[in-house]
Each structure stands twice: as structure tokens, then as C-alpha cells.
A = this chain, B = another copy of it.
Amino acid sequence: MASQKIQGIFTPHLVPLDKSGEINEPELRRYIDWLIAQGAHGLYPNGSTGEFTRFTPQERRRIVRIVCEQAAGRVQVLAGAAEANVRETLDACAAYAEFGARAVAIVSPYYYQLSPESVYAYFREIAIHSPIDVTLYNIPMFASPIDVPTIRRLVEFPRIVGIKDSSGDLAFMMRMIAAVRPVRPDFCFLTGWEAVLVPALMVGADGGTHATAGVVPEITRKMFDLTRAGQLDEAMRLQFRLLELFDAMLYSADFPDGFRAAVELRGFDLGVSRQPLSESQQTDRAALKKVLQRILTGLGC
């Protein structure tokens, strides 16, 4: 399976917590089973939706272990492996390879805003030493941007097999594809911006990793299947409805709390966020859940 091109919809799912704020392992396993049953092509622990920065290094490993175990080969796992530095990241890569992940996803360095040259040097070091395939993760709103010339340089390393782009910029997706596909036809392009999932597939993306796929996995799967089958009108009809849901989740609360509220409406107990909510935020959240319930009902979910 390792040499197969990565494609389809991967779910960067939230992690349920119990009353004491610890990882709620049974609920996480139940959630994983449900995501697979609803049609997720793959799972993506330790993504931005999964609040990877709010867990400790030990917890991040435990999450990937649980997810790989529970997936049990039914779907592929793309494991977020960004740690404090290259050495720690490579240790995580080794662990995730052993757990059975298909590949790791590594976000560009964040906090410091690095130049393209530093972004290149960072991923180069990882590409040379990683024991597992690596996908780049470009999310310029949160981390140092990975630009097209840097991507072009990095695809010379066979270990780098794909990129997830959460910029939402469709022209950027096309620029990457134009620069890379001629030299690396196996390279995988995933959009991380579900607001444009169908258009992104239409211009050549291989799939997506979407927070929304953790809420309505049956819908994102259907959008993928319809687009691949050439039924663009129906795919776009769903795209417009998904956009309404996405906007409500994204712009009504600090990310990813709107998505947490929606997953709760699908029947999962996610517990209380590790990022505290103020009283007014808790009130807003109750109102948001009513809006989300209406949209989910409209989607037949």
C-alpha cells in the first residue's frame, strides 16, 4: 500500500476528552469507527482541527497509536508529526511508521515566520532522514508559507509524496500542479479548504483533508464521488450547502470550536476544550448549536 498515491478525503478529526481533560479513548475509538463507516477515505490525527498544539508530545503519540490501531488497515492514516525540532519530528516519524501510518503530514514551521530558504532547509533535513513518506502541510494563516519554488525544490526528494494546502487559493493549487506534476506524476495534492473542494478536484487535486469531514463525512465523500463521476451539477449543489455549514462553524467561534459543537450534534461527547471559553463564548456557542442543527437537518444529517 505504501507506494500507492494518496487520494480521497482524509479527516483531521478532533480528539474527545473526558471529564478530567484527558484523552477519552473509548469515545475516540467510537468516533473513528463512525468516520470510517460514513465513508472517510482516511484519517488525519494531529492536524489543526485535532488541536495538535494543545497536546503534549506523549499525547500526540498516543493519539496516533489509537487511531492506527482502530483503523486497523480499513483506511489509511496520515499522521501529523510536527514536533519541536527536526530530531523530535524524526522520532515521531519513526514511531508513526511503526504504528502503521501511511505517511506523516508535517506543517511548515510556525511561531517564527521563516523565509522560503529556511522552510526548504527544514523539510530537506526531514526528507533525507524520515523512515516514512512525508506530506507537506501549507497553512499560511497559521504557519510559515511554503511557496511554489520551494515546493518545486522539495519534490526532488522521493520521501516527499504530497502536499496539503489550506490556503484556499485555487490559483495556487493550479500553480503547484503545473510546477510539480510534469516531474512527479505520483505527487499528491490535497486541498485543506473545503469551501472549494469540488473546484479543487475539478482543477486536478487528488483529494482533501477537511475539518468538515469530521462533521459530515458522508457529504464530503459524496462530493468527492460525484465529482470523480463527472456529476458536477449535483456536486456543486452539495458544495454550496457545505459552504453554509463551513462558514457557520468557522466564523462563529474561534477555530476549531465551531466544529467541536457540530461533532457533538452528530452524537459524540467531545468534552470541554483545553482552550478555555469565556462566559459570553459559552452563550454564543449555545446559539451556534441551534444554527448548526438547522443546517445539519437540511443536509439530511
Taking beta carbons and an 8 Å cutoff, which residues of A are in contact with B?
A: 21, 48, 53-57, 84-88, 109-115, 117-118, 120-122, 124-125, 141-143, 168-171, 174-175, 177-178, 193, 195-196, 198-199, 202-204, 232, 236, 239-240, 243-244, 247, 254-255, 274-278, 280-281
Partner of A55, one of B54, B84, B141, B175: B84
Residues from chain B with Cβ under 8 Å of A239 in the complex: 174, 203
CA gap between A243 and B109 in the complex, in Å: 28
Contact between A110 and B110, CB atoms less than 8 A apart: yes
Copies of this chain per assembly: 4
CA gap between A120 and B278 in the complex, in Å: 8
Contact between B240 and A178, CB atoms less than 8 A apart: yes
Residues from chain B with Cβ under 8 Å of A280 in the complex: 117
- Known contacts A110-B110, A112-B255, A121-B278; A178 and B86 CB within 8 A of each other: no
- Known contacts A171-B243, A178-B240, A199-B170; A141 and B122 CB within 8 A of each other: no
- A interface: dominant SS: helix
CA gap between A244 and B171 in the complex, in Å: 11
Residues from chain B with Cβ under 8 Å of A57 in the complex: 56-57
Contact between B113 and A111, CB atoms less than 8 A apart: no
Task: For A115, give the chain B residue with the smallest CB separation.
Answer: B254
Contact between B141 and A84, CB atoms less than 8 A apart: no
CA gap between A277 and B111 in the complex, in Å: 17
Task: For A244, give the chain B residue with the smallest CB separation.
Answer: B178
